[in-house]
Structure 1
């Protein structure tokens, strides 16, 4: 399926995939308002076996066929404090086991 990919100038790392270039009719107005003026990034021929950076190609294709668009949001931020606490807890447990 040939898809047009747009990036948001308001929301970093947020992309909108639609089936036809410049046809935003399937996209809800509130979403377009928050997304801001779409900026064309690429035209992609997405197939089920296409490897995309963050999302599964089948998820994109299914959403476009069902809803007429796919919205790719940025990955959640990494909670380094939580990771450190988990690591530190494992370190302390390993230290206590050696005693």
Structure 2
């Protein structure tokens, strides 16, 4: 199975996978509006790959067959400063100082 992978300029790390190049028929219009203009990154032969970066291969194939697309969201960015503040018993965000 070959799939087309698209990126967006709106959000780094967000990718849209389609079972056919430039076939956006099954992608909801609201999602396409949020995604912005899709930019083709690659055509990916799924049968020649055992593993994919951050996508489970079986989950991807199932989504492509059942929904006609798969949206990969960027990884959640950790806020180490907020975690450290909470560990110290402080609020995650520093309160603005009033003068």
Smaller-chain TM-score range? 0.7 to 0.9
Gaps of 5+ in 2: 89-99
**Aligned-partner Cα distance in 2 for 1:50–1:82:** 37
* 1:80-95 aligned within 5 A: 80-81=80-81, 83-84=83-84
Deviations 1:5-28 (A, max 9, x none): 000111211100000100000000
Matching residue of 1:21: 21
How many residue pairs are counted as aligned between the two chains? 89
Asked if 2 retains the 8 angstrom alpha-carbon contact of 1:8 and 1:15, the reply is yes
Compute the TM-score of the two structures, normalised by the length of structure 1. 0.78
Cα distance change on mapping 1:69 and 1:16 into 2, 3 Å: same
Quote how far apart the aligned CAs of 1:86 are.
Answer: 8.1
* 1:1-99 aligned within 5 A: 1-47=1-47, 50-81=50-81, 83-84=83-84
Secondary structure (helix, strand or coil) at the match of 2:47 reads coil
Quote how far apart the aligned CAs of 1:50 are.
Answer: 2.5
**Aligned-partner Cα distance in 1 for 2:78–2:50:** 27
Gaps of 5+ in 1: 89-99
Compute the TM-score of the two structures, normalised by the length of structure 2. 0.78
Which consecutive segments of 4 or more residues in structure 1 shift more than 4 A? 85-88
The structure with more helix, counted as a fraction of residues? 1
What is the root-mean-square deviation of aligned Cα atoms in Å? 2.2
